[in-house]
Structure 1
Amino acid sequence: MTNPSTPAPDLLAWASRVLGARPAVRDVSHPRENSRVFQLDLPGDVRFYLKISPKAVMYERETLALRHAAPALGAGGAPQLRASSADHLALLLTAVPGRPLEQWTLTPAEEARAHRRSGVLLARLHAAGDLSGPRRAEAEQALQAAADGADRHLRAAGDRLTAPEQKLVRSLAEQLRTLPPLPLAYIHGDAWERNLMWSRTQQRAGWIDFERSRFATAVQDFVRMACTTWADRPDLRAACLQGYGRDLTAEEQHALKGLAALDAVSCLAWGPAHDDPDVTARGRRTLDRLMAGVAA
């Protein structure tokens, strides 16, 4: 079943009431089943986005992030939450300048500038959450929770992994349980070039899509980039961490290797099941690199 290309009439009426005018609507959803995002344009080149979360937990996470943590990123560093509707799992968001970094063709110097700025923003986000009470407990258990998912992902991936590959993944997952306490943070949860906005005219970066934000170990926010862009561009890894203000510790680097293995298996389970060759290829490439002894 495909998603409607326009919002439901009552949802559009709600957005129109909030904005004070009926906008022109364009479907800008990602090409996947559970993505529903609409661009809302008003006269005077004023733009908003209407995002419908696929799950209540994602709506709750993004709402929390945009209300309490994302403002620390500063003007243009993240969307502003204009309004939300729990009945529709809908968020009405301001636009972030620019377009996703993956859509740009930039010089290496410009790419490094964008990644450096992304690291600055992640450092602000990581420090923005209130790590007290149950939130600290959630963050402290994050690596354990990740390791607990290994067998489930391996079963889903089935024979797409060889026996030696399965053994490596299980070993790396178990090592996540034995690491000493790592720096904790309020993480974006889906930090990579698809969600990193870049304005070439303003030379400014911003993060979007906070539906996977949560309290966890800080290193968990670097998994997506380690398994994609950084694999071929260590200069961009260095630029991002320079902006972040520190390099990863040896223990965090070890954790990143285990987390990359889990991401690879997840990709090899999810990609074929959803006919997504890009996700499948990402998982296969990461696993091949780990089998060859190349660190994440």
Structure 2
Amino acid sequence: MTGSDAAPMPDALRQWIAGRLPGTFVSVADKSWERDTSRVWLVETTVTTAYAKISPTVEAFWREVGAYRHAETALAPGQAPRLLAADLGLRAIISTQLPGRIVRHLDLPPAVEVGVHELAGRLLRGWHAHPAPAPAHARESFRASMTDQAAEAAACLNLLGDDLSAAARALVREVAHDLPALADSLPLVYLHGDYGTRNWLWDTEAERLAVIDFEAAAHGLAVQDMVWQCGALWTTRPDLREAFLNGFGRKPSPDENRALVLLTARLAASYLATGRTTHDQVLVDRGHRALSSLARTLH
């Protein structure tokens, strides 16, 4: 955010950071996403530069702290920022700044873009493969999430009605009816949780990809970290799907692939419902396109 929308850093956070970063403050820039729960600043001192963040909830704080520790051992140096300090009372986190730019904002040559997506698949394979024991409540929390997504699909189905083709309606109905049981039959892995191009950093000079923003990390299905790509990119860019899965090292199993289709159909129905409500034609078109492509996949 910039200008009048920029959020000032709270005094308590500034004081805490001053005691943990070397040097004195030079500048603080608001780098929050355009959503109410995002509070992120880039802090420059006379010695270093780092990111500071206030987590939206205590749960998100602990998820992110745990994910930083996971990334430090699961990924190669430079593939994720390092945790420098954390404070539960403030729900505050300080992390290193990495070189690179957000992939979603880049207009990359096709060959480079394909290479970036293959690297993204490889990075995710490393994240998933590294041991991360699931807490006792992980399966229960996961079941609740799948039940919620099925309920959302049912609500979208009622809202959209005749806006959906017969094939799309059948697909969204399958999400509402079949997703919880199908998902519960599959193993859990430790997810990044928001593994889309807005959280990928591409360092052109080093030709290195990194991942950021870990507050959604949790245990779930491996294919949940592919849902955004499947709905927003792969329907029109099968080359990016092939590159990503080449990097990931395997294709989803038949049950995983069906779960991916159903999870993505839920997201696409949400895009379409939100687009209709807010008169956002981009979301409407994205939802229709994804649902049409996914319906052909299953039927």
Q: TM-score range by the shorter chain?
A: 0.7 to 0.9
Q: 2:59 maps to what in 1?
A: 57
SS of equivalent residue, structure 1 residue 38: strand
Matches within 5 A, 1:250-289: 250-269=254-273, 279=283, 281-289=285-293
Residue 261 of structure 1: CA displacement?
1.4
Q: Could you tell me how far apart the structure 2 residues matched to 1:280 and 1:54 are?
A: 29
Question: Quick check: 2:190–2:220 contact (8 Å CA) kept in 1?
Answer: yes
Question: Quick check: 2:100–2:203 contact (8 Å CA) kept in 1?
Answer: yes
Which of 102, 124, 143 aligns to 1:100? It is 102
Q: Could you tell me how far apart the structure 1 residues matched to 2:288 and 2:135 are?
A: 39
Q: Could you tell me how far apart the structure 2 residues matched to 1:254 and 1:156 are?
A: 20
Which of 4, 26, 33 aligns to 1:30? It is 33
Structure 1 unpaired stretches of 5+: none
Which of 230, 237, 252 aligns to 2:234? It is 230
Which of 116, 126, 138 aligns to 1:124? It is 126
SS of equivalent residue, structure 2 residue 20: helix
Q: 2:46 maps to what in 1?
A: 43
Q: Please report the RMSD computed on the Cα atoms of aligned residues, expressed in angstroms.
A: 2.8
Count of residue correspondences: 291
Q: 1:151 maps to what in 2?
A: 151
Residue 170 of structure 1: CA displacement?
2.6
Q: Could you tell me how far apart the structure 1 residues matched to 2:211 and 2:5 are?
A: 25
**Alignment-mate amino acid for residue 106 of structure 2:** W
Q: 1:217 maps to what in 2?
A: 221
Q: Could you tell me how far apart the structure 2 residues matched to 1:240 and 1:151 are?
A: 30
SS of equivalent residue, structure 2 residue 98: coil
Q: 1:88 maps to what in 2?
A: 90
TM-score, length of structure 1 as denominator length: 0.86
Q: Could you tell me how far apart the structure 1 residues matched to 2:131 and 2:271 are?
A: 29
Q: Could you tell me how far apart the structure 2 residues matched to 1:55 and 1:276 are?
A: 29
Moved more, 125-134 or 51-60: 125-134
- The verdict on how the C-alpha distance between 1:43 and 1:274 changes in structure 2, with shifts beyond 3 A counting, is farther
TM-score, length of structure 2 as denominator length: 0.85
Residue 39 of structure 1: CA displacement?
0.8
Moved more, 153-162 or 2-11: 153-162
Matches within 5 A, 1:173-192: 173-179=176-182, 181-192=185-196
Q: Could you tell me how far apart the structure 1 residues matched to 2:199 and 2:278 are?
A: 21
**Alignment-mate amino acid for residue 241 of structure 1:** L
Encode CA deviations 1:51-79: one digit per residue, 9 max, x unaligned. 12222222221111012345411211111
Matches within 5 A, 1:238-257: 238-257=242-261
Structure 2 unpaired stretches of 5+: none
Q: 2:142 maps to what in 1?
A: 142
Q: Could you tell me how far apart the structure 1 residues matched to 2:14 and 2:62 are?
A: 21
**Alignment-mate amino acid for residue 62 of structure 2:** E
